[in-house]
Amino acid sequence: MTRRNLWIGLAVAVLAALSLTACQKAQGPQIEITDAWGRPSPKVATAGAFYMTIRNTGTEDDALIGADSDACGVVELHESFKTPEGAMGMRPVQGGKIVIPAGETVELKMGGLHIMCIDKQVDFTPGTKVRLVLHFEKSGDIPLEVEIRQPMK
């Protein structure tokens, strides 16, 4: 093989690799998580809540299907809502998942969607950092660190 052919071969290989990653990036979901925080709560409150902003910059819908944390006995996805009686209620999310449509942002916030930490294993005092692993239907596991802090307005 001449030196020239080698260069051409290399260039083709690089181009192929580039286009492949470009394709991968253009297709499928792309999940970004920002502003993750947990609400401080007293030891006696067995349940805590995590909130965050989940953005899908990809081209395909994805869904948050669950989460795990060493800081919680069980982690569930819940939603607070107004009942027909005008009261506030809370239920596990419908279908057991939170859909993150392609190109959209879903906010987990106070009085709405939240990740519920049941049977807290640690004190949720401000400044504490909690490791959380989010399970997505297509994007798989996304680990993150969540800081316990007072709600901001």
Partner 1 sequence: MSSGAKRGLGWALGALLLIVLGWWGWQRFRPYAFHGTVLQSAEPAPDFTLMSADGPVSLSDFRGRIVMLYFGYTFCPDVCPTTLFEVQKTMELLGEDADQVQLIMISVDPLRDTPERLKEYVQYFHPSFIGVTGSEDEIAQVATQYGIYYEKHEGTPATGYLVDHTATLTVVDRKGYVKLIFPYGTPAEDMAADLKYLIEH
CA atoms of 109 and 133, how far apart (whole Å): 18
Residue 75 Cβ vs partner 1, minimum distance, rounded to whole Å: 9
Residue 14 Cβ vs partner 1, minimum distance, rounded to whole Å: 51
Q: State which of residues 30, 31, 37, 49 lies at the interface with partner 1 (CB under 8 A).
A: 49
CA atoms of 77 and 75, how far apart (whole Å): 7
Answer yes or no whether residue 66 interacts with partner 1 by CB under 8 A.
Answer: no
Of residues 11, 43, 31, 3, the one with CA closest to residue 105? 31
Using a 10 angstrom Cβ sphere, with 0-12 exposed, 13-18 middle and 19 or more buried, the burial of residue 98 is buried
Q: How many chain residues interact with partner 1 (CB under 8 A)?
A: 34
- The residue ranges that bind partner 1 (CB under 8 A) are 39, 41-49, 73-74, 76, 78, 80, 83, 85-92, 110-111, 114, 116-119, 150-151, 153
